[in-house]
Structure 1
Amino acid sequence: MSREDADGATPLRVDVLRGNATPEELAAVIAVVTESYVSEASTAVAEDRPASGWMVSARGLREPLRRDVDWGRFRG
């Protein structure tokens, strides 16, 4: 189970592998990455699923049978 902030967001973890990053440099990296993520997420659109042959040829439900109307020449 993941930890979440009060806002419901998962806390960000940044690992500096080389060098000594200052808090200002880390804040700049986080700001740039966040802005890039927000702009990409706002323009992202899921593609529509391709319709299967079954869905293309499917017809709607038929109307219920009318039991009050006799069919054919026969009356019983």
Structure 2
Amino acid sequence: MTARGDAGATREAGEARRPVLRVVRGRADAVDVAALTAVLTARLQAPGPTRAPAPVAVWDSPAHRLGVTAPGPDAWRTSGWGRR
């Protein structure tokens, strides 16, 4: 049984297969083809780009309703100040 299942096993021995990679220009030796195959295999197995998290609507945020703001650049200094 082949990696493609039984469909590959039913081919006749005389039938020609199309090559997966084809050198269009230049002369590639076995090392070049092996390097290209390794790069393409690694690229195809790499995970795709991850999606960014969905933005949170400000009007639905409990912190926004309570008047809590995000800490600013001077938050460490102003944290000791009393609330107004």
Report TM bin, short chain.
Answer: 0.3 to 0.5
Q: What TM-score results when the alignment is normalised by the length of structure 2? A: 0.37
The structure showing larger relative contact order (alpha-carbon pairs under 8 Å, at least 6 residues apart) is 1
Q: What TM-score results when the alignment is normalised by the length of structure 1? A: 0.40
